[in-house]
Amino acid sequence: MARSILVTGGAGYIGSHTVLELLLGGYKAVVVDKLDNSSEIAIKRVQELAGEHGSNLTFHEIDLRDKPALEKLFASEKFEAVIHVAGLKAVGESVQKPLLYYDNNLICMIVLLEVMAAHGCKKLVFSSSATVYGWPKVVPCTEESPISATNPYGRTKSDSTWKIILLRYFNPVGAHPSGHIGEDPRGIPNNLIPFIQQVAVGRRPALTVYGTDYKTTDGTGVRDYIHVVDLADGHIAALKKLADPSVGCEVYNLGTGKGTSVLEMVAAFEKASGKKIPLVMADRRPGDAEIVYAGTEKAERELNWKAKYGIQEFCIDQWNWASKNPYGYEPQAP
């Protein structure tokens, strides 16, 4: 019998890629998602991509705050572990609507932990974020770096009281190489790559570059962009680590250890897509750090995991997804 893993937020960007890797790895995946920022079409495509393993995926449209619904699910099936990816993640919105973020990201976590405990399921992989490092005084950021959540979104991601593996994602980008699943943000994208992608397909006229006076090689902000397929693999590595009895609560960075500037990213995307990305230079975006990239030794050593892909690969995969799905999972412009 395949081992069953519950994936919250499994229809979203990170979740869908993780579910696919689970299925291909021989696991059974049960997805719960409330489809606020995601699409059921992603589930269907993951099923197709998984081929013969596709039938090991089941989907339930559930809001995690709906405790009776979650209880019912746990009563119907025994889960070996939970991968909790569901959450709201727009930093700007979290500052404007902190209660919405605490309600979603904390209440979901509390209800989930209560139901897990009641059913004797005590293995959890939780998606945290490099946002907890704030503006780091020293790079690379290691798991021991001080955490300073500078916004409500960050604060909802820094609870480490349970026995779990916390994965601190750096900047997930790219898409599955098939181009069938990828990131499909609602509204105006906050993040760099989805915005560049929408300029490339003609949905937006130009990219605004936030800040050209940082102390970096070309003055623009530097981040650690990691291919979403590598990130998904990191979840499988974490699941395997949970079988190790010595694990209590552990934190791992998932990044590449390499920094890339905004302008380097634009150049790589232009090369991969053959499209010119018009730029508008602007002031720094409030709350942004100058340089953030990961120390990767701990994940390499203890999870036996390392990112395989680099900037050219994820730009090619991003463009493949974008050119096949210019409006994401919607067939055309809304």
Site for ligand UD1 in 256-285 (CB under 6 A): 262, 285
209 lies in the binding site for ligand UD1 (CB under 6 A): yes
Q: Which residues pair with 60 in a beta bridge?
A: 32
* Min CB(142)–ligand UD1 separation in Å: 17
Q: How many residues does the chain have?
A: 334
Per the structure block, which two tokens stand in for 214? 């940082």
Q: How far is the CB of 284 from ligand UD1 (least distance, A)?
A: 7
Q: List the beta bridge partners of residue 254.
A: 169
153 belongs to the catalytic site: yes
Whether 305 and 234 have beta carbons less than 8 Å apart is answered as yes
C-beta of 179 vs 287, nearer to ligand UD1? 287
For residues 10 and 189, which CB has a smaller minimum distance to ligand UD1 in the complex?
Answer: 189
Judge whether 257 and 224 are in contact, CB under 8 Å. yes
Half-sphere exposure of 300 (CA within 13 A, CB side): 11
Size of the site for ligand UD1 (CB under 6 A): 20
Could you say whether residue 208 binds ligand UD1 (CB under 6 A)?
Answer: yes
Give φ, ψ of 38 to 5 degrees: -150, 175
Separation CA 321–CA 215 (nearest Å): 33
Query: 83, 233, 96: which is closest to 164 by C-alpha?
Result: 83
Least Cβ distance, residue 50 to ligand UD1 (angstroms)? 26
Q: What part of residues 294-323 is at the interface with ligand UD1 (CB under 6 A)?
A: none
In whole angstroms, how close is the CB of 196 to ligand UD1 at the nearest point? Answer: 8
> Is the Cβ–Cβ distance between 43 and 180 less than 8 Å?
no
Q: State which residue, 162 or 210, has the beta carbon closest to ligand UD1.
A: 210
Residues 80-109 that bind ligand UD1 (CB under 6 A): 91
**What minimum distance in Å lies between the beta carbon of 185 and ligand UD1?**
11
Using CB under 6 A as the binding rule, whether residue 190 contacts ligand UD1 is answered as yes
Three-state DSSP class for 229?
Answer: helix
Among 104, 105, 131, 296, binds ligand UD1 (CB under 6 A): 131
CA–CA distance, 233 with 214 (Å, rounded to integer): 33
Identified binder of ligand UD1 from the candidate list 42, 73, 181, 192, rule CB under 6 A: 192
Q: How far is the CB of 158 from ligand UD1 (least distance, A)?
A: 12
- Contact yes or no for 91/131 (Cβ under 8 A): yes
Examine residue 129 and tell whether it contacts ligand UD1 (CB under 6 A).
yes
> 127 Cβ partners below 8 Å, 6+ apart?
14, 83, 84, 85, 87, 167, 169
User: Which one of the listed residues 133, 153, 169, 214 is annotated catalytic?
Assistant: 153
Residues 6+ apart with CB under 8 A from 82: 5, 6, 7, 8, 112, 116, 121, 123, 124, 125
- The rounded distance, in Å, linking the Cα atoms of 31 and 212 is 42
Binder among 158, 191, 212, 323 for ligand UD1 (CB under 6 A): 191
Contacting range for ligand UD1; rule: CB under 6 A; set: 25-33, 112-120, 203-211, 247-255: 203-211
Catalytic residues: 153
Q: Give contact residues for ligand UD1 (rule: CB under 6 A).
A: 91, 129, 131, 171-172, 190-192, 195, 207-211, 221, 223, 262, 285, 287-288
